[in-house]
């Protein structure tokens, strides 16, 4: 049934050609009909050409449809009911085939967009690349880290760190590495992991880049607590015998009945030793007790009492404590408060304590600095409120940048090393984070962020 019309038209043309050939044979046998025979021969040739074109016409349309499929052009339509069209069955099948390809392409595009949507929701970087380093998939997190709207080659990751692309390309399947990066003066730790996938005849590497900054902060705080408990225990073990010794020495100054010995009964040398011993024990004991109490405060902080605080009032109260010192030392002070947000939900006392410590550190860092300046500002970021304190002091060296929040660590001669650690703990209790960026010899910025 498919070729019913086509067969009829072909047979009709063949019958006409056969009839003309019969006439040619008939007229060849008769003299004086050479001109007629010639005309009939031309007619046969014309009919044969027309038959060939008729047969090829349907094939040309089918070939055109197949060519469009090859070029992935699904806009062409094959209309089998149009006059002069043939192979209606094939036309119908081809039309269905084109529609199937079109549906597959739409479904594939939907899957790709769905995959992109999922990948872009991840809070860590994803990048997939082939053996030549050409990137076929990346998410907005990795693009944001690179500072680019689009990345096409793995070498673009060198914008994060100059050796990052080499580190990623050298990763083996299933391997995971920790890398340290200082970007724009800020210290970061990343975890990079790799898996290899095979699509058709090509191999691809799928790499995940995790920013461990927040996670490490939590782990550091837990480590700090354990460390402080151990130190408290050890120091108290030293302090107790010292206090006991002082009591024993006092007892040595008394006779069996508990009365104080006469001075004549104590030699001058023993008296001097006792006095020196008392003084040494007292000074050391008090110093150790203060040391212990300072560190014990890190693990016994009260729960924060969150309230709505005006940022302007907060800054004014804290700066009033240092206004005289800042003016005396000739430090330029600049304060900027974003008009986009005027209040912040925090524990006022805790945040004031942190700001006092940071401003104090900035003032100390500006010693011997020409045209010293401190900038305090509040900023409204994408998902957080930030308070940033910046000074143009000597800065922090790269090797010390990652240690500033560790208890006991201090670059100051008489520093206890608990100020920044305590500040980090207080900010963490209020649900925020604190970070530092420093370019040695240029500036240092401490940034406190609270989610909104």
Q: Is the dihedral of CA 178, 181, 186, 190 positive or negative?
A: negative
Same domain, 312 and 331: yes
* Domain annotation covers residue 370: yes
- Same domain (yes/no): 352, 424: yes
Q: Among all chains, which residue has been given the structure tokens 């910046």?
A: 390
Render 228-255 in DSSP notation, one character per residue. Answer: HHHHHHHHHHHHHHHHHHHHHHHHHTB-
Domain boundary pick from 282, 299, 316: 299
Whether residue 116 is contained in a domain is answered as: no
CATH of the domain at 365: 3.30.565.10
The count of other CB atoms within 10 Å of the CB of residue 145 is 22
Say how many C-beta atoms besides its own lie within 10 A of residue 176's C-beta.
11
Distance (Å, whole) CA 452 – CA 448: 13
> What are the residue ranges in the chain where pLDDT is below 70?
1-6, 58-59, 61-62, 65-66, 68-91, 94, 213-224, 226-246, 248-249, 251-258, 261, 263-270, 273, 277, 280, 283-284, 287-288, 290-292, 294-299, 408-409, 412-417
Query: 178 forms bridges with which residues in the sheet?
Result: 191
Give 153's DSSP letter.
B
Q: Would 114 be classed as within a structural domain?
A: no
Provide the domain limits for residue 200.
123-211
Q: Are 148 and 156 in contact (CB under 8 A)?
A: yes
Nearest to 340 by CA among 304, 305, 379: 379
CATH number for the domain spanning 139: value is 3.30.450.20
Domain-terminating residue out of 211, 232, 253: 211
Same domain as 417, residue 350: yes
444 close to 380: Cβ distance less than 8 angstroms:
no
Residue pair 393/374 in contact (Cβ under 8 Å)? The answer is: no
pLDDT at 346: 93
> Full-prediction pTM beyond 0.85?
no
- Domain end, chosen from 189, 211, 233, is at 211
Beta-strand relationship, 202-211 and 307-310: unpaired
In this predicted structure, what is the pLDDT of residue 2? 43
- For the stretch 288-299, pLDDT in tens is 676 667 666 666
Say how many domains are in the chain: 4
Q: Residue 3 has what pLDDT?
A: 47
Element (H, E) at 152: none
Please say whether the beta carbons of 351 and 380 come within 8 A: no
């Amino acid at each position: 049934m498919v070729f019913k019309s086509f067969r009829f038209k072909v047979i009709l043309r063949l019958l006409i050609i056969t009839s003309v050939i019969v006439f040619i044979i008939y007229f060849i046998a008769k003299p004086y009909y050479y001109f007629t025979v010639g005309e009939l021969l031309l007619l046969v040739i014309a009919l044969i050409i027309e038959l060939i074109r008729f047969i090829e016409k349907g094939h040309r349309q089918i070939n055109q449809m197949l060519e469009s499929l090859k070029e992935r052009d699904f806009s062409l339509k094959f209309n089998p009911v149009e006059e002069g069209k043939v192979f209606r069955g094939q036309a119908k099948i081809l039309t269905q085939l084109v529609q199937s390809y079109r549906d597959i392409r739409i479904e594939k595009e939907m899957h790709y967009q769905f995959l992109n949507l999922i990948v872009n929701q991840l809070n860590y970087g994803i990048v997939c690349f082939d053996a030549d380093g050409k990137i076929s998939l990346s998410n907005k997190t990795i693009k944001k880290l690179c500072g680019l709207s689009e990345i096409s080659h793995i070498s673009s990751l060198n914008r994060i760190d100059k050796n990052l692309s080499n580190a990623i390309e050298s990763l083996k399947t299933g391997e995971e590495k920790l890398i340290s990066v200082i970007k724009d003066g800020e210290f970061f730790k990343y975890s990079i992991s790799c898996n290899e996938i095979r699509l058709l005849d090509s191999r691809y590497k799928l790499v995940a880049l995790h920013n461990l900054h927040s996670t490490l902060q939590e782990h550091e705080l837990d480590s700090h607590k354990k460390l402080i408990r151990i130190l408290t225990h050890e120091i108290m073990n030293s302090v107790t015998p010292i206090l006991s010794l002082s009591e024993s020495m006092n007892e040595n100054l008394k006779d069996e009945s508990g009365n104080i010995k006469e001075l004549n009964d104590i030699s001058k040398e023993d008296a001097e030793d006792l006095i020196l011993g008392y003084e040494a024990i007292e000074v050391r004991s008090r110093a150790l007790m203060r040391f212990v109490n300072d560190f014990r405060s890190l693990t016994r902080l009260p729960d924060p009492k969150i309230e709505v605080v005006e940022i302007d009032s907060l800054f004014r109260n804290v700066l009033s404590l240092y206004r005289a010192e800042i003016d005396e030392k000739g430090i330029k002070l600049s304060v900027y408060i974003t008009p986009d947000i005027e209040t912040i939900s925090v524990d006022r006392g805790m945040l004031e304590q942190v700001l006092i410590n940071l401003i104090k550190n900035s003032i100390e860092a500006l010693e011997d600095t020409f045209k010293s300046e401190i900038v305090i500002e509040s900023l409204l970021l994408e998902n957080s409120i930030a308070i940033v304190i910046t000074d143009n002091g000597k800065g922090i060296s790269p090797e010390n940048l990652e240690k500033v929040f560790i208890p006991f660590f201090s670059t100051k001669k008489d520093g206890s090393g608990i100020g920044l650690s305590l500040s980090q703990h207080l900010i963490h209790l209020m649900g925020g984070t604190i970070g530092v960026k420093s370019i040695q010899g240029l500036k240092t910025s401490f940034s406190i962020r609270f989610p909104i």
